[in-house]
Structure 1
């Protein structure tokens, strides 16, 4: 309500809503890969005129959720009484965990409206936050209902951000990203004496993919042939992040000194006999996204068997200006129910 006129302020415009969601997604993406087993989430608080008051993001498990952080910042700045609209990339939780429910945190403010990008996909709690806020009299809206030509693209970004969390809570298995680089001749194998053939920007992309992953999956053949490090080096990594390094090595060919060195580099190292075991191990350890960085055999089988969610293909010097071409594919129907023959074939590394 406008205190000077006593009139009810109109809903923020679609453009204001989309701009706030874009900002919330940017904040959340900064912590992508650091929040497992929780999803990365961003939150923006607006006043009645649609101006940003404060913003928050969930940084890691055990720390405040995005809504709680934004509200705490508003209180610290003396802006809490101006909170009118809450925008959040994922439905606020309504259950007690390591932190209190975000729906209740919102209800401690004078917020009248809540905009949500994605519904909570956790089967045990889905819908609870929105229902709690509606029951308390707040106007609750979803990004999918916003009438604007850019809304679908922003929603797709939000859904991709939460996809690894959704995959794990729904199946117990991680979201699988396969990175594949091929040379001008179509080979995945670098020339003798080299570990890569891609350009600097493609190498940086590979390290950004590692940064957001909770686990790296590879085969023993890749380890023995290339002696890879699998560390994040070309971009800043999340502080104190420990990734899983899952190695398909049924015949236990990888030498113990290499495994010890990987542990020294900060990895939690696991050996698996097949892909099924590997994915189950990652899911059981609360890993939400696994990056497959492997040789031709494992990569080809992961793709052909449908055991992937996202495929990042880097083609050496394929653009007209001589730069690498990067193509992103998403799998509409991943096949995560592994059959016996797939387990057998994919375990021989």
Structure 2
């Protein structure tokens, strides 16, 4: 999508806009997993010469949206009159929900330019935030028209940032990420006496992925074999976050005391007989992303179907060599 009006020349250098987009994406990613049923969104406010006035994100449902939070930060700092350019990862909302429209909040400032990374994909709202801003005389431009060497990377980062929300809001189903750790022989089974074989860096990545997810999906076999905690331990978790632990347990093999302990750890365990039932239920629970952390049999079974969206492989290469991390998207999905 191109600019919505004829004010197409940005008054700020492309490098400044690129840096602002990168910071907006990064701060939004910090809150991925905390905003359901809303998407993670980041916003950067700049003055007329490109100085950063505020960098903020939507932090949780019911709280201020990213744009409103950034504007409030400027108001508190006494810099609201300097706001000139708004850089945001998602089209500002133009409807009343639990918070007022962000488009109107922007129009209450002296902002003259707005850069938007992605349009609002929600088919259940009127949208029109970009059109509302343009109709008021602001220069509204999109990342898709941005002429800069980093534009494609920024677009890819933004697309992944909101992919779980897009899937959920358009299909009612969660985005399915499969995490798989393999040793240098291709096995998922740790050596006897060990619970893992990946590096410290890879373990931190795994916990970062867990933090981003609204639910974890596993099988009864993994529960019985490893007694996993499924908590976020290598970085701070989102405050008050209570993830669903979806367990495929057709034979009712998971002990009741494991479920009790999981609940005490802050999880919400739910048993399912099959994955289709699980994904449908998780969708109704506003789960945007579910992380599959399972054993070889269930992992292979899921990857053999069309239900997964992203496959993250952490492969141990050898002692003293960094693990190799590869990310694959399911481009064969229908629809």
TM category, shorter: over 0.9
The 8 Å contact of residues 308 and 335 in structure 1, kept in 2 or not, is answered as: no
Question: Cα offset for 1:119?
Answer: 0.8
Q: What is aligned with 1:331?
A: 330
Q: Distance in 1 between matches of 2:161 and 2:248?
A: 28
Aligned residues: 327
Change (3 A) 1:183 1:268: same
Alignment match, 1:99: 99
Kindly state the Cα deviation for residue 278 of structure 1 after the two structures are TM-superposed: 0.8
Q: Hey, what's the Cα distance between the residues in 2 that align with 1:10 and 1:116?
A: 13
**2:56 aligned partner:** 56
Q: Is the 8 A contact 1:120 1:126 kept in 2?
A: no
Residue aligning to 1:346: none
Q: What is the distance in 1 between the residues matched to 2:146 and 2:301?
A: 40
* Distance in 1 between residues matched to 2:234 and 2:110, nearest whole Å: 44
Q: List per-residue Cα deviations over 1:114-144 (Å, max 9, x = no partner).
A: 1000111111236411111112121110001
Residues 68-126 of structure 1, C-alpha deviations (whole Å, 9 max, x = no match) = 01111111222111111111010001111111110111111111111000111111236
Contact 1:119 1:126 in 2 (8 A): no
Pairing 1:148–2:125 present: no
Question: In the alignment, which residue of structure 1 is the partner of 2:65?
Answer: 65
2:332 and 2:141 mapped to 1: Cα distance?
29
C-alpha separation in 1, matches of 2:129 and 2:156: 21
TM-score, normalised via structure 2 length: 0.94
* CA distance in structure 2 between the partners assigned to 1:285 and 1:196 by the alignment: 31
Distance 2:297 2:269 in 1: 21
Structure 1 counterpart of 2:41: 41
Q: Which runs of 5+ in 2 are unaligned?
A: 1-8
Distance, in Å, in 2 between the alignment partners of 1:57 and 1:148 is 24
TM-score normalized by structure 1?
Answer: 0.90
Post-superposition offset of 1:199: 1.7
Distance change (3 Å), C-alpha of 1:38 and 1:149: same
Tell me, what secondary structure is at the counterpart of 2:201?
A: helix
Matches within 5 A, 1:114-193: 114-125=114-125, 127-193=127-193
**Counterparts of 1:79 and 1:331, CA distance in 2:** 45
In structure 2, distance between residues paired with 1:143 and 1:10: 12
- The correspondence of residues 257-268 of structure 1 with structure 2, limited to 5 A, is 257-268=257-268
Within a 5 Å distance, the mapping from 1:1-349 to structure 2 comes to 11-125=11-125, 127-317=127-317, 322-334=321-333
Gapped runs of 5+ residues in structure 1? 1-8, 337-349
Instruction: Give the SS at the match of 1:34.
Output: coil
- CA–CA distance in structure 1, aligned partners of residues 203 and 126 of structure 2: 38
* Counterpart Cα distance in 2 of 1:281 and 1:182: 30
Counterparts of 2:158 and 2:239, CA distance in 1: 24
User: Is the partner of 1:228 in helix, strand or coil?
Assistant: coil
Q: 1:182 to 1:63 in 2, by over 3 A?
A: same
Higher relative contact order (CA 8 A, sep 6+): 2
Does the Cα contact within 8 Å between 2:95 and 2:127 map onto a contact in 1? no
Q: Distance in 1 between matches of 2:22 and 2:56?
A: 13
SS of match in other structure, 1:144: helix
Please, which moves more after superposition, 121-130 or 232-241? 121-130
Distance 2:145 2:10 in 1: 17
- Secondary structure of 1:246's counterpart equals strand
